[in-house]
Structure 1
């Protein structure tokens, strides 16, 4: 009887181990072949996602670059407007769209393909509805900035720039829905192609609009809006004609009518720079630095999307051990990427500023910021692995609470103290945020 009891207990232990939750400490490491297969799977998924994120974000970066070569005031206005638009508009839609990482990812893993279209349609409805009040806020950007005590000249220029970003706000919301809908099904190559074609046309469009029309930096903002809509049209056509798209999106459903804090914190630093002495220089430099940070951030962000997809797919399929392996592999990849990017950031510090301005003062100031950005680039790898795994598990609420505490309880107050009480300037704010990552 004793021996039989031991066998029963052993069998029960094995059953318990096989049903262990994600990241359970007693989950045994998988054999080497499984590790190699997971690495290949993540690289094949992450590389296109990184490229797609970088190409999509580059639309705003290119526009600011073209605006910067029109003069320091134009650069300051475009920088403040982009930051304000990100705080009050684009990042809101980006954060809301991230819910599809969980819903669509787990539905795809569970092979509930009909639900993919339903989730995406609900997201379209919610994001378009949310875009209306966000557009109203953007329409009054200049007045809001002046009321907050920003430089009137910069605020007026920023208000004009933000006004022409409003059409792009709605396109950006649709773009997030379509991107998440496709990438959670591991359909990434069309995303890269569409984003790449859009960026090439956007560069040409910016050049024509800036040099052939007397609209100032507003032409760069209008180019951004038009390019976002062009990207949406390309992806919508793909979903309409592709077999995979038709399978998961057979048509609009009535079910669709049932009804990002970290990004905000960084952009608020740019707005705070408007209160520093020499606001044109400080605002321009911080905007260039944060634009660079976010452009580089698209690399670990793409890796983060990959781990989110892998975790949600495996959990939806009932494979917690495979999800655990995905997190482990992603962590190694992100740390390696962070080290390489940090080294490259330091190597280009003396020349990077020329992409945004011909002013020597601006270029030299940017060069002093680049080593600080290198620290942030490395820390992003760790942060993105953890946040991607959390999104795959559906823990967005936990992530929001952590971000709220780190950036708003510690980060923003510290930035105010360092910049305005201790009179250290904008550089130390960037250092502090690199540490907070």
Structure 2
């Protein structure tokens, strides 16, 4: 009588053990896939982060040298670089980001020749946009005065802006080139070129600006030269290697289907510019407080820290847009979804570490940027908001990268308008001025806009039908690829 019962017990135990083994196997399989995707992600994100930091450092180092010329030179460079060049940078980067969707999906589908055509179309559109932006550089003094800048600084910044017009056209060529190379995962090339140019820029900026005493003229010469050197070296690489068939020479097809390309470029520009300018507005609003000097200085220090941290997020933004667009283009919906999970976990982990560093050093890091105890104390007070912003900005740009890779630019643009400029900005103004919370209230309200936008993007990403997105990517590649095939 006992034998069958024992047999049944062994059978039951065997079943439980089999389930446990299956679960362990599934977990190991998931961890293995997570690790493999993480390696693929970092192969793109690592060099992309390094490239973003080195190119950001071109302006940062020039600003440092300008501070050793005189106070007016520093103010003129800072205003031109953050307002005039910042406007152009945001527009050009945004419009160039249309290539992340198209080139990435075309590369994933194996339609390599389309990448070169897309890059040329983007050159046509961005060079035209650069011509439209030239008047902003020419008439920058009255524009700056309109926004409350002093006449002396506006005129000095306006003169410097005229010298920096060549940089505007370098932006127009550079960003499409970068997206073209990123889509093929050739990010290490950009990193090496950026490092070489940064070394040259540092040496010659010091020599021209300080040693020879050229001041801002020397800074303009080297900034223009450095950005054009980046463009020339990247173009030479593309022309010499032909990028495995992605570059087949100049073609009249660059002028085909321009309107559809313009619409996607504008969507990308609106989406990224609304994000890029949001926290920049914080400094402008803070300048309207009753005693703005110390709060503005403190906010500037915080935005400087946030700017360096943003370069890490920008690298992940580029990496995930490449991964998502490549996988959707090749029809791998499951891998696209896994990429989103891996990059989200990775970037949030880095954001948590960055927030802890900011909070742990809040009594010390302000003195790296100022010798004023009052500014340092105000910066320390703002460190909590800075830490929260750093954490949010670890995930939010990544979700924007997912949107670019999938082609959701217009959807995110509308979300940004609602969250940032209809909710966050008015909330900041109400808390800062009506509730008399000052800069803490202004920044706190604007962080509310970032939280709302991030939450909505999480929901959209979570409930996305990735199989449907893969089908749409295939349709987009066939539709645009067919136009090219007909022109051959």
Same fold per superposition (TM over 0.5): yes
1:59 and 1:144 mapped to 2: Cα distance?
A: 25
Q: Does 1:294 align with 2:307?
A: yes
Match of 2:255 in 1: 257
Superposition pairs of residues 84-103 of structure 1, within 5 angstroms:
84-103=83-102
Superposition pairs of residues 241-252 of structure 1, within 5 angstroms:
241-244=240-243, 247-252=245-250
Match of 1:198 in 2: 197
Q: Judge conservation of contact 1:304–1:385 (CA < 8 Å) in 2.
A: yes
Match of 1:128 in 2: 127
1:150 and 1:163 mapped to 2: Cα distance?
A: 18
Structure 2 residue runs without a partner (length 5+): 1-26, 259-272, 451-488
User: How far did residue 250 of structure 1 move?
Assistant: 1.3
Superposition pairs of residues 323-402 of structure 1, within 5 angstroms:
323-350=336-363, 352-353=365-366, 356=369, 362-363=375-376, 365-402=378-415
2:288 and 2:205 mapped to 1: Cα distance?
A: 30
- Listed one character per residue, the Cα deviations across residues 18-56 of structure 1 (whole Å, up to 9, x for unaligned) are xxxxxxxxxx99744322211211122211111111212
User: How far did residue 431 of structure 1 move?
Assistant: 3.7
Match of 2:151 in 1: 152
2:428 and 2:312 mapped to 1: Cα distance?
A: 26
SS at match of 1:50: helix
Residue correspondences, number = 409
Whose helix fraction is larger, Structure 1's or Structure 2's?
Answer: 2
Using structure 2 for the length normalisation, give the TM-score. Answer: 0.76
Match of 1:60 in 2: 59
Q: Does 1:271 align with 2:269?
A: no
1:156 and 1:120 mapped to 2: Cα distance?
A: 37
Kindly tell me: are residues 420 and 219 of structure 1, through their superposed partners in 2, closer, same or farther at Cα, counting changes over 3 Å?
A: farther
1:217 and 1:363 mapped to 2: Cα distance?
A: 29
2:123 and 2:72 mapped to 1: Cα distance?
A: 36
Bigger Cα displacement from structure 2, 82-91 vs 258-267: 82-91
Kindly tell me: are residues 234 and 365 of structure 1, through their superposed partners in 2, closer, same or farther at Cα, counting changes over 3 Å?
A: farther
Match of 1:226 in 2: 225
Match of 1:115 in 2: 114
SS at match of 1:252: coil
Match of 2:468 in 1: none
Q: Judge conservation of contact 2:294–2:378 (CA < 8 Å) in 1.
A: no
- Listed one character per residue, the Cα deviations across residues 200-256 of structure 1 (whole Å, up to 9, x for unaligned) are 2222233223313545445434432222111111211111222526x2111111111
Q: Judge conservation of contact 1:80–1:287 (CA < 8 Å) in 2.
A: no
User: How far did residue 369 of structure 1 move?
Assistant: 3.9
Kindly tell me: are residues 216 and 433 of structure 1, through their superposed partners in 2, closer, same or farther at Cα, counting changes over 3 Å?
A: farther
Kindly tell me: are residues 138 and 306 of structure 1, through their superposed partners in 2, closer, same or farther at Cα, counting changes over 3 Å?
A: same
Q: Does 1:142 align with 2:155?
A: no
1:356 and 1:242 mapped to 2: Cα distance?
A: 44
Q: Does 1:305 align with 2:318?
A: yes
1:218 and 1:311 mapped to 2: Cα distance?
A: 43
Q: Judge conservation of contact 2:431–2:445 (CA < 8 Å) in 1.
A: no
User: How far did residue 85 of structure 1 move?
Assistant: 1.9
Structure 1 residue runs without a partner (length 5+): 1-27
2:284 and 2:204 mapped to 1: Cα distance?
A: 28
2:242 and 2:383 mapped to 1: Cα distance?
A: 46
1:364 and 1:69 mapped to 2: Cα distance?
A: 25
Kindly tell me: are residues 102 and 178 of structure 1, through their superposed partners in 2, closer, same or farther at Cα, counting changes over 3 Å?
A: same
1:356 and 1:205 mapped to 2: Cα distance?
A: 24
Kindly tell me: are residues 62 and 282 of structure 1, through their superposed partners in 2, closer, same or farther at Cα, counting changes over 3 Å?
A: farther
2:157 and 2:293 mapped to 1: Cα distance?
A: 12
Kindly tell me: are residues 77 and 364 of structure 1, through their superposed partners in 2, closer, same or farther at Cα, counting changes over 3 Å?
A: farther
Bigger Cα displacement from structure 2, 279-288 vs 187-196: 279-288
2:87 and 2:127 mapped to 1: Cα distance?
A: 15
Q: Judge conservation of contact 2:107–2:115 (CA < 8 Å) in 1.
A: yes
1:49 and 1:137 mapped to 2: Cα distance?
A: 30
- Listed one character per residue, the Cα deviations across residues 371-398 of structure 1 (whole Å, up to 9, x for unaligned) are 4322211111221232111111110111
- Listed one character per residue, the Cα deviations across residues 311-336 of structure 1 (whole Å, up to 9, x for unaligned) are 11011001101111111111110111
Q: Which of structures 1 and 2 has the larger relative contact order (alpha carbons within 8 angstroms, sep 6+)?
A: 1
Match of 2:332 in 1: 319
